[in-house]
Structure 1
Amino acid sequence: MTIFVLGTIGGLINISVLTTLKLFRSNQCAFYLIMESTVNTLQLFVLFIIYLLPITIGIDPANTSLAWCRIKNFLTQTLRLLSTSMVCFAALDQFLSTNPQHIIRQMSSLRLAHRLTIVAIFLWIAHDIPYAILYLIVPPSGCIITNIDLIRYYSFFYYPVLHGLLPILVSSSFALLAYRNVRNLVRRQVAVERRRLDRQLTAMIFIRVIFYVLLLIPYTIYRIYSLNVTFTQANLDPYV
């Protein structure tokens, strides 16, 4: 409950600040941060409902309703991947917008941000449809995946790579490159206001990526370790 309340308040504050301040309204990096906060807030609501229902009605509906079994897993995974994408996109955008080469800076635009977000939404929805459809209620285990090929995919690619090493490398690499670019802004003929904005956004992204990586690394290590020690369907439960 505490995590839900604090997380929701924090997400709403982020959205409010980034949407009301004129400085951030038309900034593509701020757009990514708004999208990430929105997705994270939705994810908290979904997880809150998932954990609240068994307490309220005394039974986990995911073990009795096939529709809810599939919907809850589809929503949580899609939102998680969208949130990860926004972090990576924000780091990429800061690298582009602070790059000393004009042709690379031009690649950073609000139009690109909108397109990347739309692509990510449709991509992860398409990616997670089989994940949702192939969930079945199997007594006494409950809501689990029974397709062996899908189990192997999520065991050896999704958790270690797609939701582990890949976003860690992408976000941290671009955040470090953006930080390097900002340190060299003094040498370039850049307006003071633009320089200040770039520094603020880069600092925000850099700190966000640090926390993201620090929180994701233990989770990734745990997944890789657990999959090498024991290979069971229980390891694929995203809420364990």
Structure 2
Amino acid sequence: MSSTTTNQYEVTQLLDIAEDLFAYVGLTILLLGTIGNMINVISFARLESLKTLASSLFLLTSCIASQVVLVTGLLTRVIRGFSLIDPVYTSVVLCKVRWMIRTAAGAVSLTCVCLAAIDRYLSSCHNVHRHGLITIKRARWSIFISICFWSSIFSSYAVFYTAPTPLSCTIANPIFAYFTSYFNLFHYSILPLSVLSIFCMLTWHNLGQQPATYLRGGIRLYDQITRMLIAQSIDILITSFPNMIWQIYTVTSQSITKSSLRMAQENLINTICVLIGFSTHAITFYVYLLASSTFRKNVKDMLLRNRRIKPLSNANVIKVTITKTDQKVTLPIP
């Protein structure tokens, strides 16, 4: 009896810790992420280079989708952490809408980052014919298709997610629940992490092969958008990795019978991994600040001086012509 009482106490403690984490850490992530995403949206919307650079449009859409993830996915958990009442549990409609929109928005956000990585790779290639493969028009169509595709895919969540009891919002169909575990692991972890890893390494390799580009004064200049994107990709890799490992464990341990104490322990670990996963959509702005001096200057001018934002283009770059023994190479301006 004493052992049973002790286990029950530990279970209660672990569940309370998980709720507190969602309440306080989740609220911090939500507030910082909302502020950062709003500044990102305003900054990219005012960039003159947005009219000519497809990557900026992809990153703008990614920021908007990330904010949708935070509002639909994290806000209700924060409310539950403080009040112990989850609005999703009180309505079947909210249950369905929350999981459909939250999951689709997360997929759109990561898809747009992957498309931006592909665009930066093509722009960094020595073959100039690849530079114009992703135009603004094609970028808009890609974003539209991505939204339609993921919305149609995750409309199934609106069908299968339900609230059979007052304190649950789960997939009632066991076959669909089993399939969803594997699909989430693939579309939210394995696929985007693989694409970002491959194209960021290829882009970095291309940049290392290019001749030096110099500002007036001789300081080496790297394309600011590319630097921001590589930094964001590293951020996604780091913050998504714990959740991917946890998803693999969840998939492989579905058939194991677990005690209430083990389930409470796993719930706490899942809470930590989920919060780290939400930070993927919350710290992009701060990653951009660290990665790009031009972006920092633009934000400073916007917030403190209320000036028109300067484009994230190499406005002061002079074209350098390097003459070799058998050919003349004219360095293009990104």
Shorter-chain TM-score bucket reads 0.7 to 0.9
Deviation (angstroms), 1:18: 2.0
1:126/1:191 Cα in 2 relative to 1: closer, same or farther (>3 Å)? farther
State the distance in 2 between where 1:150 and 1:191 align: 56
Aligned match of 2:284: none
State the distance in 1 between where 2:159 and 2:214 align: 53
1:12/1:231 Cα in 2 relative to 1: closer, same or farther (>3 Å)? farther
Among candidates 40, 54, 58, match of residue 32 of structure 1: 58
1:146/1:211 Cα in 2 relative to 1: closer, same or farther (>3 Å)? same
Among candidates 200, 215, 229, match of residue 224 of structure 2: 200
1:197/1:70 Cα in 2 relative to 1: closer, same or farther (>3 Å)? farther
State the distance in 1 between where 2:254 and 2:119 align: 39
1:56/1:114 Cα in 2 relative to 1: closer, same or farther (>3 Å)? same
Establish whether residue 41 from structure 1 lines up as the match of residue 67 from structure 2: yes
State the distance in 2 between where 1:120 and 1:11 align: 20
Q: Which runs of 5+ in 2 are unaligned?
A: 1-26, 257-262, 276-334
Whether the 8 Å contact between 2:162 and 2:169 is mirrored in structure 1 is: yes
State the distance in 1 between where 2:162 and 2:43 align: 42
1:38/1:140 Cα in 2 relative to 1: closer, same or farther (>3 Å)? closer
1:38/1:198 Cα in 2 relative to 1: closer, same or farther (>3 Å)? farther
Establish whether residue 210 from structure 1 lines up as the match of residue 210 from structure 2: no
Q: Could you tell me which amino acid in structure 2 is paired with residue 150 of structure 1?
A: F
Q: Between Structure 1 and Structure 2, whose CA radius of gyration is higher?
A: 2
Structure 1 residues 17-96: aligned runs within 5 Å: 17-54=43-80, 59-96=85-122
Aligned match of 2:192: 167
Deviation (angstroms), 1:198: 6.2
Moved over 6 A (4+): 190-193
Q: Could you tell me which amino acid in structure 1 is paired with residue 204 of structure 2?
A: Y
Q: Which runs of 5+ in 1 are unaligned?
A: none
Aligned match of 2:282: none
Whether the 8 Å contact between 1:81 and 1:124 is mirrored in structure 2 is: yes
Deviation (angstroms), 1:69: 1.0
- The percent of aligned pairs where both chains have the same amino acid is 23
State the distance in 2 between where 1:110 and 1:33 align: 13
Higher relative contact order (CA 8 A, sep 6+): 2
Q: Could you tell me which amino acid in structure 2 is paired with residue 210 of structure 1?
A: I
Aligned match of 2:29: 3
Whether the 8 Å contact between 1:4 and 1:44 is mirrored in structure 2 is: yes
CA RMSD of superposed structures (Å): 2.8
Deviation (angstroms), 1:55: 6.4
Deviation (angstroms), 1:153: 1.6
Deviation (angstroms), 1:159: 2.6
1:83/1:228 Cα in 2 relative to 1: closer, same or farther (>3 Å)? same
Deviation (angstroms), 1:54: 4.0
Establish whether residue 153 from structure 1 lines up as the match of residue 179 from structure 2: yes
